[in-house]
A and B are shown apart, each in its own frame.
Chain A
Amino acid sequence: MASYAGELSTEVAPAVRVRSLHRSFNEAGGVLNGLDLDIAPGEFVALLGRSGSGKSTLLRSLAGLDRGVAGTGVIEVPEKVSVVFQDSRLLPWKRVLDNVTLGLRAGDAADRGRQALAEVGLAGREKAWPHELSGGEQQRASLARSLVRDPELLLADEPFGALDALTRIRMHTLLRKLCEVHQPAVLLVTHDVDEAIVLADRVIVLDGGVVRHDARVELDGRRSQADPAFARLRARLLTELGVEDDHDAPGRHLDRAVERAAS
Chain B
Amino acid sequence: MTTLTGNLSAPTRALAEAEDVRPTRRRLGPGEPIRFGGLIGIAALLLAWVVGSATGVLDPRTLTEPWTVVQTAGTLIENGRLQESLVTSGIRAALGLGLGVLVGTVLALVSGLSRIGESFIDGPIQVKRSIPTLALIPLLILWLGIGEPMKVITIALAVFVPIYIHTHNGLRTIEGRYAELAETLGVTRGEFVRHVVLPGAMPGFLLGLRFAVTSSLLALVVVEVINATSGIGHMITLASNYGQTDIIVVGLVVYALLGVTADAVVRLIERKALSWRRTLAS
Question: Which residues of chain A have a CB within 8 Å of any CB of chain B?
Answer: 63-65, 81-83, 85, 87, 89, 91-95, 102-103, 129-131, 145, 149
Contact = CB atoms under 8 A, between A and B. Distances in A.
B120 interface: no
B136 interface: no
A159 to B, nearest CB: 14
Interface in B118-147: none
Contacts of A145: 185
23 contacts: A64-B183, A65-B180, A82-B184, A83-B184, A89-B177, A91-B178, A91-B181, A92-B276, A92-B277, A93-B199, A93-B276, A94-B195, A94-B276, A95-B276, A102-B185, A102-B187, A102-B191, A102-B195, A103-B191, A129-B275, A129-B278, A131-B276, A145-B185
Contacts of A81: 184
A95 B195 CA distance: 12
B186 interface: yes
Interface string B144-186: 0000000000000000000000000000000001101111111
A85 B199 CA distance: 22
Is chain A's interface secondary structure helix, strand, loop, or mixed overall? Answer: loop
Given A93-B202, A94-B199, A103 B276 contact: no
B178 A89 contact: yes
Shortest Cβ-Cβ A-B pairs, 6 listed: A103-B187, A103-B185, A93-B199, A83-B184, A93-B276, A89-B181
B276 A63 contact: no
B184 A91 contact: no
Contacts of B276: 92-95, 129-131
B200 interface: yes
B266 interface: no
A92 B178 CA distance: 10
B184 A65 contact: yes
A102 B180 CA distance: 13
